[in-house]
Structure 1
């Protein structure tokens, strides 16, 4: 009788597994896993997520995770927006110090939060990062000198730097396969963050800023009393980020993602999380704890014993090694990881350098934008940032077609390259605004898709680490661009043509990516 019961139970488990097989498309990395048990369980989780479908829970994730995108771009732009007025007040010896500070913070944040997301989970990093960012952003507005301002900007960027690592991973690991293109669309929040930064600057800087003595010889010296605009910008944006962090804690009450729990071997929690979503939104879910257990036990332990998720000691160099090793587990995964990291290096150098060299180059070639008032300057800045929101919207549509992610990036990179080369012919303010808008739109087709593509093709157990290193490499190039801008000749066209040519390289690399997520499900 006991034997008959075991056979009956096994049949039920198999039926639950096979009933959901027909719901999903093929898994992107199904042939790349070194742990067949993990592969089988990941397939069943993907089936369950597809069976549940898209719910209001996913819309909440889209918005709340989008906050992270917005905050990353917001903090990055705030230092550029406010640095000029802070320099007039503090008169530092190294005027590009804030650029270095924000990129160092972003770099350390991307690596720290990326690794922590794979070691202790997505949940804690998701809940803490925005709160840390908001506190130091508010405090930055009260900085008494240049060094303290740089410190608080760096710490704020540290909190913000993990968001692009975490938000894409968390959203992707709950997302049904037919809606994975929304990961690209979510990059529209990046443009929204830029727009908010521009609007806040437009509201405060023209009215509450001192004049530059180099432009206005009779201007009064810049002091705390007559130069509070940049401080108001940090106070306002820091408060906005604080509200966002509270909304994350109160609205979503995020549970650990099922794909992270699979790698942990916590089958009961995997089933509980997915069944809880299904029950709340009245959706079917055939996945059970028994079905997951029937697949066997995922490999755990030391790397020498075949572990694909963790080392024996969680907080150790061995743990870091496991996650790095997992990003090169097979030949195709190794090629994919290497090309992704190279792409992040290229875009991290090309875009900041272009922005640094272009104004001086245009001035040396006789471009005349006319004298713009501060209000008009920040208005134009906001308009250009508004256009950046719609690049990911078009990219999301393109990714859902047979162009897929790879050729969406190819098109985005090449069109951006064309506008970059053409921009060198700008000669008046109207042309300047028009090309700024076009570049903001086209660049985010490539950028938004790369942000989404990166976590889609990384193994789930090592997604945070791989994503963190990708964005970390991008930040290293941002630091390098500030150093180059300090020592190089800004009047020569050579750096501009090199930067634009890098987009051709990025297009070629995108075409060579070994994985295409269109029609597939991420691990």
Structure 2
């Protein structure tokens, strides 16, 4: 009798609609996932999702904020502490981000999304504040790394949590949410503009730099940490996050799935026809082995074990198309992780060696231009959000192709900069164009990953990006920064990004995430 019910329910699995519905991983789970997607679409966009858009956007802002703080304050802190390895802060930040992305990403698949969502920003804020009181370079690097560890999981969790509550017709908002990344960068630029010219201008050499005349970089940490702390409190007070229905579905907790969605529908006076009986009629989630035993598609027999980690890794390669998609996504994150920071490292020295006058070196001017560039980066994801919904631009994949290629064009054009106004104009344009690609990749990654393994796949992708950031810091230390070769290599990397995007096997436009 159970087989008859299961067989009849499986016949209702959609032929189109859900991105991974045709991958035949677990037909019962596919059927249930389709019902949950129907329920989310039926409820529609409510204030709950708009709150998540803002609160999850904080994670984007904090990730960029922490990464940029270390690059902004490192020169001033180095004058005070006189370290032997001046790029140590870059390595510390990217190492913390790397560990945080993998830890929080895998943790999200093992114990759930809401715990990392609630605690990661709080951890980041505490160590960001403490970093401002660092007595030496080593301690500063430690606190930077710990703060980055807390921030590192946000890009993994924020996209996953938002996506798993988002109606299909509003999935483009996941791309738009990357605008918060640029906002975080702009905030750091404003802090630097306010504090460094006024509180660190007298510190110009190692000999004349003291604690008293170089507190500007410490004020940046204090104010940024306080801002992140306010964000972390808002996350647990403005909205009491329930575990996402798609995570609960992988856990086999059908009753909690229905309760979560019905509670949102009731609160915002929306219809929701999903019932426990409908989910149970689909059968029991899991795969049947040759001995007739059911195994979970989401977990190993022991939750906290290497087998559990292996189960999530294996789930990212459960079919050939999913495996190909996973590899191409990870490769894309490797490419962008090397190309962007490497170009930023080499370009200033290259332009200087060619006699470019890129502007005066007064701190107020430098940080004004920095703020303008980061303000421009906010609008790249806004355009990308519109493009990825349009068939004129071939959806997500086409948006990434266009974003990568036009960024490459402006990178080449930037080598011809010779005046301050040209420098500001090209910097702002590149910030805008690059975030068309970056914002879309951030959204595309969780959209095409299986829900039960979304945190692991996303965490590894971002972790690979951080590894490339560490490598770029090492390369910048030992390589010749006045040659044009790295610029052409970076351009080639952007071409490779465009080709990789064209090879992605899944297109989420017009479909729903699984």
TM-score range, shorter chain: over 0.9
Contact 1:126 1:167 in 2 (8 A): yes
1:84-483 equivalence runs, <5 A: 84-211=75-202, 213=204, 221-299=208-286, 306-402=295-391, 403-483=394-474
Aligned partners of 2:142 and 2:374: how far apart in 1? Answer: 27
Q: Is the 8 A contact 1:346 1:502 kept in 2?
A: yes
SS of 1:421's equivalent? Answer: helix
Structure 2 counterpart of 1:76: 67
In 2: Cα distance, 1:89 partner to 1:468 partner = 35
Give the Cα–Cα distance (whole angstroms) in 2 for the partners of residues 253 and 478 of structure 1.
35
C-alpha contact 1:300 1:310 (8 A) present in aligned 2: no
Instruction: Give a deviation string over 1:497-522, Cα, whole Å, max 9, x none.
Output: 10111101100100110000000000
Counterpart-to-counterpart distance in 2, 1:192 and 1:87: 27
TM score, norm. by length of structure 1: 0.94
SS of the residue corresponding to residue 31 of structure 1 reads helix
Cα displacement (A) at 1:141: 0.2
Aligned pair in 2 of structure 1 residues 48, 148: CA closer, same or farther (>3 Å)?
Answer: same
- Between the aligned partners of 1:481 and 1:122, the Cα distance in structure 2 is 31
1:345: Cα distance to partner? 0.2
Q: How far apart, CA to CA, are the structure 1 residues paired with 2:288 and 2:345?
A: 49
Question: Given the two structures, how large is their TM-score scaled by the length of structure 2?
Answer: 0.95
Checking the alignment, whether the CA contact within 8 Å between 2:203 and 2:210 is kept in structure 1 is no
CA 1:370–1:385 in 2, change beyond 3 Å: closer, same or farther?
A: closer
Cα deviation, residue 307, structure 1: 3.4
Asked if structure 1 preserves the Cα contact closer than 8 Å seen for 2:358 and 2:417, the reply is: no
Could you tell me whether the CA contact under 8 Å between 2:203 and 2:213 is conserved in 1? no
Structure 1: distance between partners of 2:104 and 2:288: 23
Question: Of residues 505, 511, 514 in structure 2, which corresponds to 1:520?
Answer: 511
| Aligned-partner Cα distance in 2 for 1:437–1:245 | 30
**290-299 vs 143-152, which deviates more?**
290-299
Shift of 1:204: 0.4
TM-fit CA distance, 1:169: 0.1
Residue of structure 2 in register with 1:57 after alignment = 48
Deviations 1:425-463 (A, max 9, x none): 101111110000000000000000000000000000000
Say whether the 8 Å CA contact 1:209–1:228 is kept in structure 2: yes
RMSD, matched Cα: 2.0
Q: Alpha-carbon deviations, 1:88-139, whole Å to 9, x = none?
A: 0000010000000000000000000000000000010100000000000000
Deviation at 1:300, TM superposition (A): 7.3
The answer (yes or no) to whether the contact 1:301–1:307 under 8 Å persists in 2 is no
Is the 2:108–2:116 contact (alpha carbons within 8 Å) kept by the matching residues of 1? yes
Give the Å deviation of 1:376: 1.1
Cα displacement (A) at 1:302:
10
Map 1:37-52 to 2 at 5 A.
Answer: 37-52=28-43
Q: Distance in 2 between matches of 1:348 and 1:211?
A: 35
Cα drift, residue 477 of structure 1: 0.1
SS at match of 2:284: coil
Q: State the aligned residue count.
A: 505
TM-superposed deviation, 1:369: 2.4
Match of 2:360, SS state, is: coil
**Residue 206 of structure 1 aligns to a residue in which SS?**
helix
Runs (4 or more) in structure 1 with deviation over 3 Å come to 210-214, 300-307
Structure 1 stretch displaced more, 35-44 or 253-262: 35-44
- Distance in 2 of aligned mates of 1:192 and 1:431: 23
